[in-house]
Structure 1
Amino acid sequence: MNRDRRYRKHVLAGVALGALALGGPAAAADMAAVYDWTGFYIGGHFGYGGGSLGPGTNPLPEQGVFLPHSVTGLIGGYQAGYSRQFSNRFVLGIEADASFPSPMDGAALRPAPFNATIDYTGTLRGRIGYAFGSWMPYLTGGFAWGHTHVNIHDDVRDIISSPGQYHTGWTAGAGAEFAVSGNWSAKAEYSYIDLSRRLYDLSGFALPGINVDPRIHLVKLGLNYRFGDTPWIAPADGKTLLPESNDWNIHAQTTFLPQAYPSIRSPYAGAYSLPGAGQLQETWTTTAFIGARLWQGGEFYFNPELAQGFGLNGTLGLAGFPNGEAQKAGAAFPKIRPQRYYIKQTFGLGGEQEDVPDAANQLAGKRDIDRVTLIVGRFAIGDFFDGNSYAKDPRADFMNWAMWSSAAYDFPADLPGYTRGAVAELNRKDWAVRAGLFQVPTAPNSDILTFKTGGAVVEFEGRYAIFDQPGKLRLGAFGNRGNTGNYRDALAIEATNPALDINTIMAGIRRDNLKYGFYANAEQQIARDVGLFARASWNDGQNEILSFTDIDRSISGGLSVKGSYWGRPSDTIGIGGAVNGLSSAHRDYLAAGGLGLLIGDGQLNYRNERIFETYYAYALNKQFTLTADYQFITNPAYNADRGPVHIFSGRLHGEF
């Protein structure tokens, strides 16, 4: 077995799922003479934690996904450091890191007058290890800090206050780090964090004081990229520390997106109305895209993501919401979620092949054009359906929900927009057909997914050329069965007893109901670096929206132009618009004071919601793009009595 083949085995064992393994003694001896742990490095980690915040603190249960909920749940974050390897193979170093917990596990939350939670932990530590060639066990310890807060509830469990405090303390742990390929290494580490006790005086809320005393255990799997003695500088000879591998890859993105609007006309407002006084909010996401080749045609992808911030008004007040990065589960501190984890199996059918470039969630290589692909796991439905070259990615092109999606498709998803399920695709040179089955939320706007009911979609994609200019047409049909209420049924009950609140009525009549609909999605290049796009979508509009947003009919379209025409080939300008509408039953429900997923003004002077959006994306360099975006929304939330709204956005997006 040659060295490169041994190396691929190291990669698969060390990276695919973070299940780290050692090569044999021969491999270790082969690499001992060439590998040096000296250098600066940065990286990220993902794992699981637990522990205690002290007696009587009612800690929030944080999501463990496949593991039990705990005071931290799943954790993730960043690290950076420097190591120096000496001639006797001892390695000394210093490392700083920050770890963030998961969102709350709503199903595990129990009634309590208050709940304590930890927002993040940070450490600054020394490391001492011993280098066995390509792997290094180590001990670590040093200074730690963190932040906690306490949610205080009223009688109906709404949060009325969230005081917070900082803590300092110490940490100790142990781990092992393994050279993988190129300049990458993987590590597994256990850390214990002991933070100082802090007293929360809750007497102002007629509650006893509590001592929050964090004792945290963390198990982390991580990846580090090593630069050498000079930070950010590759070795002078241009060579990586070890051979590169085609059997795995890693990419990352980060997107910071502030949005603001000035005051609007607002003669009245409801629970979900956009505030009349204007507002500024921001969101920030950072995602790692890790892929590994498992076997012939088999690939595994894993995307942990940190998300922080809020959409305007907590992502409420507009059906065509202006920030595609805004999640319904916003947070003041970053929260970690394993957004994607899926296995992809491709079966080639022979014949002509095509090159597959290295990209996020895409391993480089070749594949048959005629192929069958199966995907099972957790993902966003938009990863595989309703694609469009000009309006699909709110991190790179249009930001409004009604511009980058077929907005009347109420695709199954949890609060951040992901689901679990399976997709099958048959691809030919000029067409493809794909279908999927997915989990749906347990109720409208729920963060809990279930297979008790489910969702399905089938899409046909045709590829063609007009005057040698390529184009695509996608036609989709969808159906979801979920725990929703019927608009007409709720209105009929409210008519017999007007004293009843229609939202209480709706919650009481929810049962398994079907929502179905269709979409059409077209894109057409009209000249080099110039393209048009258009979408139309419709759903039956009889039962509550389950997952996406309050739209029953939508049309959108626009123009995208690359900057090659003015000497900026990596820049893009986009201009487009959308018109959203509701079924008559949905309108009457909102007019009666009903609340949707995102909207509800208490009353309604119905008009179609109309959106204009334009943006300019300016490439700062190969990694970063700065975008200026303007949106003008008439009849926000379909209400002619309110608005219009002028929304100004900036977006800094990096890809690595």
Structure 2
Amino acid sequence: MRTAAAIATGVLALPCASLAADLPLKARAAKTVYDWTGFYVGGHFGYGDAGFGPGTNPLPLQGAGLPHSATGLTGGYQLGYNRQLANRVVLGVEADATFTSPLDFPAHERAPAPFNTTIDYVGTVRGRLGYAFDRFMPFVTGGFAWGHTHINVNDADGVTELSPVGHYQTGWTAGLGLEFAVSGNWSAKAEYDYVALSRRTYDLGTFGMANVDVDPRIHLFKLGLNYNFGDTPWMAPVNGKTKLPESGDWNVHAQTTMLPQGYGPIRSPYASPLSLPGRGQFQATWTTTAFLGARLWDGGEFYFNPELAQGSGLNGTLGLAGFSNGEAQKAGAPFPKIRAQRYYLRQTFGLGGEQEEVPDAPNQLAGKRDIDRVTLIVGRFAVGDFFDGNAYAKDPRADFMNWAMWSSAAYDFPADLPGYTRGAVVELNRKDWAVRAGLFQVPDAPNSDVLVFKTGGAVVELEERHSIFDQPGKLRVGTFYNSGNTANYRQVVAIAAANPALDINDITIANQRDRSKYGFYVNLEQQIVKDVGLFARASWNDGQNQILSFTDIDRSVSGGLSIKGSHWGRPDDTIGIGGAVNGLSDAHRDFLAAGGTGLLIGDGRLNYSPERILEAYYAWKLNSWTTMTFDYQFITNPAYNADRGPVSIFSGRLHAEF
């Protein structure tokens, strides 16, 4: 019996042992170790400081919540290659470029000087030596560095820049950091770099000042993200597999847009610095933006968009009320400048019922949400991110470029110089309609880069969704109110008439105090047939006090068509054609005619006529992530002056995104 039992036990054990061997949870598996070998590209954002030597008067740059410093906030991009050895030592090489922030205007005004020194950017090529603890890799780094510094020679007020003088300087860098493989092909890093550049003597003798030695010593603290390609550069890993599992709780997108514009000689019998030059001009802008999103909890999301911007619009973004380049900022610079353009928290409260799919996109995490919902947004953003939307005319990186085409131009939305503000938005969404409202900071004076809480702006918008002959459409109606430090046109003109010896623009500044501006806009988008849609806008403000933030328009109407290329075999291409007419209130006209200047315009006198704009573009899709656009704008009565122009503006646009 014992023998039979032993045989039976053995017979039963054999299939069990075989089954256990086939079960992965029962088998001993070799541990997969993360491999750092491969090419990578990425971006970084951080904060720094610098010294340039005694008597150099460093220019204070924006810290955006942190103290201003000689670098302020910093940001840029990097690329490199790592090779992990069998003993877990990681050898690598990396090149990067780091750019500084714009000027902190209040700090600069508090510390006037005959000249100021600043650094525009730092570039490095470095070796890296690390040790792989699986997904963690501490490293040290060092190598060659270079940078561009310049000195601003100031006017007698010690603030107004007269003449910049710049030089390149070389040197060395050393640092250390920690990198961590997050998910998919993404890794995150924290890094500190010390940069020492060679001393350079600036000759200021032509300005009546002694020579200045600029000896940069720079501290950079960086947080970065890298996308790792593996051993094959610029391609996804074999079979599309990522190094680690993907995560749906965060996403990364990016865009870059280059937009050159130019025009030839125009009629210009008289001009001011705010007029389009009569001889013609060519300018270009370039922006690069990262869109980072993270899901914090159920319904809670955080978004962060650092952006590099370089260049300026025609004539420094001056001379047109309906300005021709939607990428042009009022704070343009010859070298890229980094800003934390958006950082906001979005909380969505679902109300139950039917749900909708949300695709992965910039500033949008994939998932599902209730159609009936309440959404709260708090932070820094552009008012146009959530108001005055339109499927056919809204994004100067993708469709119409002129300011009067992609916005309700008479809405003087609160914004700093690049077009952003801080505030809160609440929205109630239903299937066929939505209502949203916002409260925002306004600049402390017209065309100021400083946002304040003392006064504010508000807007309420109703969005109605409908279908006409089975073709979808939306109608948005908004009303707005701003309170800000502005001058009254009538009062300024009266004081100038009574005191001819006084400059009208000095009177304007003296007349500024807390005043209001209100108005409305109507915005329609309507599909006509598949892949063909029209848009129309009308906007108005009271026109009694200075424009605070956007542009010199008190009345505006615009409209046009957008046609997708499916009708000629290129479904991803788009043709757009539209027009706009901009106007001013009587008080605003009299102010400009008397020699006053606005945010963007002022010829010294005015033969008034409405500003009329025609724009047409063709957006040619080169591949899944790149689009080239050819654009033409014909503008009569630029800056409302029948004595000037007309002007034909030719533009190109190269836009890439992922």
How does the TM-score come out when normalised to structure 2? 0.95
Alignment of 1:253-652 (within 5 A): 253-652=255-654
Distance in structure 1 (CA, Å) of the matches to 2:144 and 2:391: 48
Match of 1:193 among 192, 195, 201: 195
Is 2:41 aligned against 1:37? no
Read off the aligned partner of 1:568 and give its amino acid letter: R
SS at 1:505's partner residue?
A: helix
Alignment of 1:198-277 (within 5 A): 198-277=200-279
Residue matched to 2:71: 72
SS at 1:569's partner residue?
A: coil
Q: Deviations over 1:566-615 (max 9, x none)?
A: 00000000000000000000000000000000000000000000000000
C-alpha spacing 1:404/1:128, structure 2 compared with 1 (3 Å): same
Read off the aligned partner of 1:117 and give its amino acid letter: T
RMSD (Å), alpha carbons: 0.9
8 Å contact from structure 1 (residues 32, 133) kept in 2: no
Which structure has the greater CA radius of gyration?
A: 2
C-alpha spacing 1:305/1:540, structure 2 compared with 1 (3 Å): same
Distance in structure 2 (CA, Å) of the matches to 1:653 and 1:336: 19
Distance in structure 2 (CA, Å) of the matches to 1:191 and 1:387: 43
Residue matched to 2:185: 183
SS at 2:418's partner residue?
A: coil
Distance in structure 2 (CA, Å) of the matches to 1:589 and 1:445: 17
SS at 1:607's partner residue?
A: coil
Residue 160 (structure 1) shift? 2.4
Residue matched to 1:154: 155
Read off the aligned partner of 1:76 and give its amino acid letter: G
Distance in structure 1 (CA, Å) of the matches to 2:33 and 2:134: 8
Residue 51 (structure 1) shift? 2.2
Distance in structure 2 (CA, Å) of the matches to 1:117 and 1:173: 22
Read off the aligned partner of 1:376 and give its amino acid letter: V
SS at 2:192's partner residue?
A: strand
8 Å contact from structure 1 (residues 32, 132) kept in 2: no
Q: Deviations over 1:431-450 (max 9, x none)?
A: 00000000000000000000
Residue 523 (structure 1) shift? 0.5
Q: For structure 1, which segment, 156-165 or 536-545, has the greater mean C-alpha deviation from structure 2 after superposition?
A: 156-165
Q: Deviations over 1:9-45 (max 9, x none)?
A: xxxxxxxxxxxxxxxxxxxxx9973310000000000
Residue 474 (structure 1) shift? 0.2
8 Å contact from structure 1 (residues 524, 531) kept in 2: yes
Residue 208 (structure 1) shift? 1.1
Q: For structure 1, which segment, 33-42 or 624-633, has the greater mean C-alpha deviation from structure 2 after superposition?
A: 33-42
Distance in structure 1 (CA, Å) of the matches to 2:430 and 2:632: 39
Read off the aligned partner of 1:541 and give its amino acid letter: G
Is 2:133 aligned against 1:132? yes
SS at 2:238's partner residue?
A: coil
Residue matched to 2:80: 81
Distance in structure 2 (CA, Å) of the matches to 1:233 and 1:548: 42
Residue matched to 1:121: 122
C-alpha spacing 1:31/1:197, structure 2 compared with 1 (3 Å): farther
Residue 246 (structure 1) shift? 0.2
8 Å contact from structure 1 (residues 31, 134) kept in 2: no
SS at 1:237's partner residue?
A: helix
Residue 161 (structure 1) shift? 1.4
SS at 2:624's partner residue?
A: coil
Q: Deviations over 1:104-138 (max 9, x none)?
A: 00010021111111010011111111111111000
Residue 386 (structure 1) shift? 0.1
Read off the aligned partner of 2:55 and give its amino acid letter: G
Residue 158 (structure 1) shift? 3.4
SS at 2:571's partner residue?
A: strand
Q: Give the ranges of 4+ consecutive aligned residues of structure 1 lying more than 3 Å apart after TM superposition.
A: none
Residue 238 (structure 1) shift? 2.0
Residue matched to 1:144: 145
What is the percentage of aligned positions where both structures have the same residue? 77
SS at 2:152's partner residue?
A: strand
Residue 55 (structure 1) shift? 1.1
Residue 270 (structure 1) shift? 1.7
Distance in structure 1 (CA, Å) of the matches to 2:328 and 2:273: 19
Read off the aligned partner of 2:300 and give its amino acid letter: G
Residue matched to 1:22: none
Residue matched to 2:13: none
SS at 2:490's partner residue?
A: helix
Q: Deviations over 1:66-95 (max 9, x none)?
A: 100000000000000000111111101000
8 Å contact from structure 1 (residues 81, 95) kept in 2: yes
Distance in structure 1 (CA, Å) of the matches to 2:232 and 2:169: 33
Read off the aligned partner of 2:32 and give its amino acid letter: A
How does the TM-score come out when normalised to structure 1? 0.95
Read off the aligned partner of 1:308 and give its amino acid letter: Q
Distance in structure 2 (CA, Å) of the matches to 1:577 and 1:607: 16
Read off the aligned partner of 2:125 and give its amino acid letter: L
SS at 2:240's partner residue?
A: coil
Q: Deviations over 1:393-434 (max 9, x none)?
A: 000000000000000000000000000000000000000000
Distance in structure 1 (CA, Å) of the matches to 2:398 and 2:93: 36
Residue matched to 1:107: 106
SS at 2:573's partner residue?
A: strand
SS at 1:524's partner residue?
A: strand
Distance in structure 2 (CA, Å) of the matches to 1:420 and 1:85: 45
